[in-house]
Amino acid sequence: MAKGKKKSKSKARPKKTKKKKKSFLLFPKFFQKWSLIFIGLFALLGLLASLNFPRLTMEKNMTSTDETTVAFIAEIGETSRYLAARNDLYASVMIAQAILESDSGQSSLSQKPSYNFFGIKGDYNGQSVTLPTWEDDGKGNPYYIDAAFRSYGSVENSLQDYVDFLEGSYYVGVHRSKTKNYKDATAALTGVYATDTTYGDKLNSIIEQYQLTIYDTY
């Protein structure tokens, strides 16, 4: 009995040793394989994060006012891109003007039924609405007047009338073919489209804040 036990023990030891050696040799290969997979996944996630960084940063720092503006940009952005491209204009400037003039679509003039996003005075097909507005005397001093503004009846009419309004020779300086970049266009609008002496600076700030130049590609 004792001899039999010794034999079973001597047979068991080599088997255990072989198993340990086998698993020890396989473990590094297993580890290396999954390490490469994880490294690849992290690299891919890093690339995706870098591509989305501007949008994510903007969303992180977004206030309620910013959210309203982003929603307004989403509403008019693609139509503005299309119309601007067909009419030699900067969509970034067009959208920035709409944001500034209409308070991101929240002003009474930009609401239904007028949909006047650009503060254009006069009438549209005989339709207008009279509202108080402030002007600049050219020296930075504001004063208020009552003025008639165009009433469009739809968002599409408002956007289309804007590009038609800028077709005249009076606004030739805002066209893409006559400028090097959008800042030349905003400078050309200052004191011409609006009496505000800081009009161009305000538009540039909006364009930069909301990265509107992405709408200048088509």
Instruction: Tell me which of 101, 161, 196, 216 is the catalytic residue.
Output: 161
DSSP state of 68: H
Q: How far is CA 213 from CA 90, 99, 122, 145, 170, in A?
A: 8, 14, 30, 34, 24
Strand partners, 190: 194
Instruction: Tell me which of 75, 135, 136, 184 is the catalytic residue.
Output: 135
At residue 104, what is the residue type? S
Q: Are 155 and 76 contacting, i.e. CB atoms less than 8 angstroms apart?
A: yes
Q: How far is CA 101 from CA 29, 108, 178, in A?
A: 65, 11, 24
Q: Is 67 considered catalytic here?
A: no
CB burial of residue 46 (10 Å; 0-12, 13-18, 19+): exposed
Q: Is 135 considered catalytic here?
A: yes
SS3 79: helix
Element (H, E) at 144: strand 142-150
Catalytic machinery residues: 135, 161
